[in-house]
Structure 1
């Protein structure tokens, strides 16, 4: 019976939120395609573009935690509506930038508007699904990133060549505004508000979450619990290291491909290759993680493999085919690792602590979105080559792999402690088969 309830909830929630995330990825990343025409039109230098691409993540970092706490307080439906409406409006403003400072300002506003969307959805899914089901749902949801990136590149390229870069931002900003009102009308705040679930199905979903042994926290105490939890902080640093290279590559990829002498259309289309590969691999990887009920090694192995691929790619001869191949494989592996990362539990809590811990991890990880493109921009401008950037990408990835191993051992110790009933404030109860620090949202 529980599997039936999980299937119904998945069919009702995942498509709508997946489409919203698709538009989110498009509106965040379309500057990588628009830059092919926008940069020369408004006089953006390489370094200025890198800074503008990255400043989005500064405001995202600043507003992420408050946004997630407001979502927990006001409910997912209304807060996700607010996020989508504001980011759609700001996306339209990108069509009116005229110099580097206006570019910086609108990108900063876009980061503030979008802050909290992705972790808010992960937090929201935690209201509905037990740990094992959550792994599959998050894996499928995260697969939207490469799918959106793969489709966005040719769509944005077509709009760029047919209508110009200003209309590109207009056409890709409007859907967020429309979907905001769909969310307001269709998305329930939680299990109890879902009219399409029977009472027995609601009971089954609640029982699955309760079986994970989560402990409820509220308000300020929940936030303090998350901030003081060592595993939450380590996982946040891990996500920063993991995404540093991912952002450095993805936001520069069309221009890197263009440097090989490939035209505008070709650069846009070839930019979709690594994301198309990741779109195939991520769901398969998530399914394997769910079936084996293992989290940490599913994050560690692709991280290490990505580090090796980027390092080898840095020392290859200047060959467009080889370079694009290794870039594609490296980006796909880093996305696989990131999808597995979001299935790793953070804290044995629901409610405010869950909202805070998810936001802390995502906000610090997205701060890498500022440093990655900005550092890459200055290095490319100083050296005239992207090879040094590739050579340095392996370092943060190795650090991320080490941190994954450390948090895995911490999770095992916490699981053992919980089994003995010695975790502070936690009564002995059912022990999840793998990780005890399971993040669960507050069901009201």
Structure 2
């Protein structure tokens, strides 16, 4: 079911001017996606994937399309600086590429990195397959693609990143998306196209941050393809303003022997939604995801993880932690499908959650569907409070209650960062987790 097109949010998104690319097939695709969005409207809680995330409040708001002043808004580079991340960088402010804040020069051999807007000014034909449809076909196909469609219609910029076959990119690539305070509430959109060639390797950091307080709406869609034997480490840090609304879809496709390691940290935002979908389409592909979400106040953070094993001897492990306090709400849905013929698959998913106040809420739903033989699979989820015995132990050694609670909560969350290979970045993210803990 969907909410009608008469809602202020839907109307404002439909009223925004479409980006003019000058590419006939792309302009046609944008019009088609906008028409599909207008026909479908917004998903409501009767759609299973949106059962715990109501859009009633967001639907009553209007957002101006785009930011004419984005190219000149003042942003302090310290806003997005990260220890251990000093490689090539692309920065977008309110969805607009900022060359003055980026570092796209002196790229290592085998790396193509450019804004989508720049790629479209050249030969756009290589992008046609990806941009003429909303997103990679993921394992979940529900009537919940409204924001993917509006992104496909409205995203005028984003990232095109390609790593040549067998190229090893040592320095991490930094993609920064900044929501900057403006004179009105804005909606902006970005689309990322990322491909690692056969045997290539890359470390990538996606960073969402704010400059000043604002209550914008942003949608971001990423298509990531790993060819045979490619290796990707992706770290995602979301630390947007507390009033921001951020809707993302990340689709990964792993071919034979490809390996992906993901670390995701969700800290900011008012309403945050991340659909993370992965298909293991090649034999012996491996996907490992770790994540933590820590809503507080009245934040709402929703993570939808869907992994589909489609080939022989594929492996996936997922370890996610959630912590909520005050009146915050966290949502985690983890779905694993082992398709017919995917014999020898090994899949495990674990989600543990802590409630630090009686008014906080976390809804978790692990799912497992197996249609193949000789499969190892396990999933589990817990929602509880801090271990009273551990608290007593720490307090008996002279540690005050508040400090003891903070120590246990920090250790609970930091477990998802233990295998992050970049030590400086790992220590920085651990510090951010500790800073997010309730006083």
Work out whether the TM-score is over 0.5: no
Structure-2-length-normalised TM-score:
0.23
Structure-1-length-normalised TM-score:
0.23
Structure (1 or 2) with the greater strand fraction: 2
Structure (1 or 2) with the greater helix fraction: 1
